[in-house]
Amino acid sequence: MNFSNKIKEACKLLKATNNIDKKIILENYINNLENTMNSLAPKKIKQYRKIPYTEKILEKMFYYHYEMMENFIENKEFHKNFLDQILTITEKEQSKLPQENRKEDIKLTKKEFYYILSSFMKSINKEKLLDNIINNHQIHKININDKDTYKTDSGYILYNHINKDYDIFIKDFSYNISSMLTLVHEIGHAYDYETLECDSATYNKYYFQSYYGEVYSKMFERLFISYMLKNNIEKYKAESLLLEFENNSLASMSFSYILSCLDEQLLCNQNDDKNKKKKIANKISEQFTNKNVVNQFIKNYHFMMIPENYNYAYGNIISLFLKDVYEEEGLSSNLLKQFSKKRVEVFNKKELDNWEITPNQYIKLYKKQIHSIKK
């Protein structure tokens, strides 16, 4: 099915429902797919809906966001301590590692590309998932003209929770290991959605409030890099990918840490004005000596950054634990089962305790996995 048919189908579903949560899901889906079509072929696309986002929908979306903020403020001190402990040690350890040195990608043939990918998927018992994606969904290799759209990610997935359809998009695709890693990340999201059995309201809570939306995608990435290192497949490239992965982790954890240091009033004031940025800048400068971190933060700060950044920060952290038990115990691991069940719930620090996800344990696993690339 092509994109305009998918949008038409979603519009039909939208008309047929009075359920506000279903409407939110469909509106978001249509909006994202329209944006994608626009960035692929600007100005050629007609607008499919006349009036997007009615007031009732916006109100409910705001409510989800409001609840997320409440949960964030309630757990702010916990996040702060938790991330601080992890950052203090990983920053030190990472400075001992060789400088990130982007290894050139070796060009693969299409056959080689899918051979490595399917061997990897087989090694983690997920060959059926890959077959399903290739046969029933689509992987789009795209070049985005509009540089502003989705500029931060090299890939993304658009999922329609109502009819369970999804498409994967990989930017600037080539048959090489970097594109494969991007694809593996998105396959992790597909796995997340394929195994998510919940109603529309729960799905929206997961979408707007949870910090667990990047856990499986990061777990797949970690498993893939580990598979390459263990099997000696483009070892140097794999090492540089691991370094890059850890540097990105550090950046997103630092951002989240900074957010946890801001006071409530600053966080809740939605006006994105200059004064606010100045206040935030002062606040951050008190805590951070690294000017680069501060400047980056000021430049990119936005109110909506909280769920997004925490998704990446906790995604990095929890995925390390899941990857470890996956490699040790396989799918039957207790932690994997528990996480799968609880992931749709809002953040609860007790849950991390139950899963034995602590800074100390994180650092142990972190050291174990970077051991192989130490000089």
Rounded to a whole number of angstroms, the minimum distance from the CB of residue 156 to Zn ion is: 7
257 vs 251: CA distance, rounded Å: 10
Six-digit token string for 244 = 């890059």
Rounded to a whole number of angstroms, the minimum distance from the CB of residue 232 to Zn ion is: 28
Non-local (6+) Cβ contacts of 361 within 8 A are 321
Considering the complex, state which of residue 182 and residue 254 has its C-beta at the smaller distance from Zn ion: 182
Local structure of 347: helix, strand or coil: coil
Considering the complex, state which of residue 221 and residue 359 has its C-beta at the smaller distance from Zn ion: 221
DSSP string, 231-290: TTSSHHHHHHHHHHHHHHHHHHHHHHHHHHHS-HHHHH-----HHHHHHHHHHHHHH---
76: left (phi over 0), alpha (psi -120 to 50) or beta: alpha
Is residue 316 a contact point for Zn ion (CB under 5 A)?
no
Rounded to a whole number of angstroms, the minimum distance from the CB of residue 136 to Zn ion is: 21
Considering the complex, state which of residue 39 and residue 217 has its C-beta at the smaller distance from Zn ion: 217
Rg of the chain over Cα atoms, rounded to whole angstroms, equals 21
Rounded to a whole number of angstroms, the minimum distance from the CB of residue 217 to Zn ion is: 4
Rounded to a whole number of angstroms, the minimum distance from the CB of residue 99 to Zn ion is: 26
Rounded to a whole number of angstroms, the minimum distance from the CB of residue 185 to Zn ion is: 6
Considering the complex, state which of residue 188 and residue 359 has its C-beta at the smaller distance from Zn ion: 188
> Please, which of residues 198-217 interact with Zn ion by CB under 5 A?
217
Rounded to a whole number of angstroms, the minimum distance from the CB of residue 309 to Zn ion is: 13
Contact 148, 175 (CB under 8 A): no
Strand-strand pairing, 155-160 and 165-171 = antiparallel
Beta bridge partners of 157: 168
Considering the complex, state which of residue 217 and residue 260 has its C-beta at the smaller distance from Zn ion: 217
Considering the complex, state which of residue 39 and residue 311 has its C-beta at the smaller distance from Zn ion: 311
How many chain residues are in contact with Zn ion, going by CB under 5 A? 1
Closest among 339, 105, 337 to 214, alpha carbons compared: 339
Q: In the chain, what is the greatest distance between 2 CA atoms, to the nearest angstrom?
A: 61
**Nearest residue (beta carbon) to Zn ion:** 217
- Residue 166 is inside which H or E element, if any? strand 165-171
Q: Which amino acid is at 92?
A: K
Considering the complex, state which of residue 90 and residue 154 has its C-beta at the smaller distance from Zn ion: 154
Considering the complex, state which of residue 45 and residue 316 has its C-beta at the smaller distance from Zn ion: 316
Considering the complex, state which of residue 245 and residue 280 has its C-beta at the smaller distance from Zn ion: 245
- By residue count, the chain amounts to 375
Rounded to a whole number of angstroms, the minimum distance from the CB of residue 152 to Zn ion is: 10
Sign of CA dihedral 68, 343, 362, 230: negative
16 vs 214: CA distance, rounded Å: 31
Contact 1, 167 (CB under 8 A): no
Rounded to a whole number of angstroms, the minimum distance from the CB of residue 59 to Zn ion is: 28
Q: 65: buried, middle or exposed (CB in 10 Å: 19+, 13-18, 0-12)?
A: middle
Closest among 202, 135, 172 to 341, alpha carbons compared: 202
Rounded to a whole number of angstroms, the minimum distance from the CB of residue 68 to Zn ion is: 18
Considering the complex, state which of residue 204 and residue 217 has its C-beta at the smaller distance from Zn ion: 217
What is the binding site for Zn ion (CB under 5 A)? Answer: 217
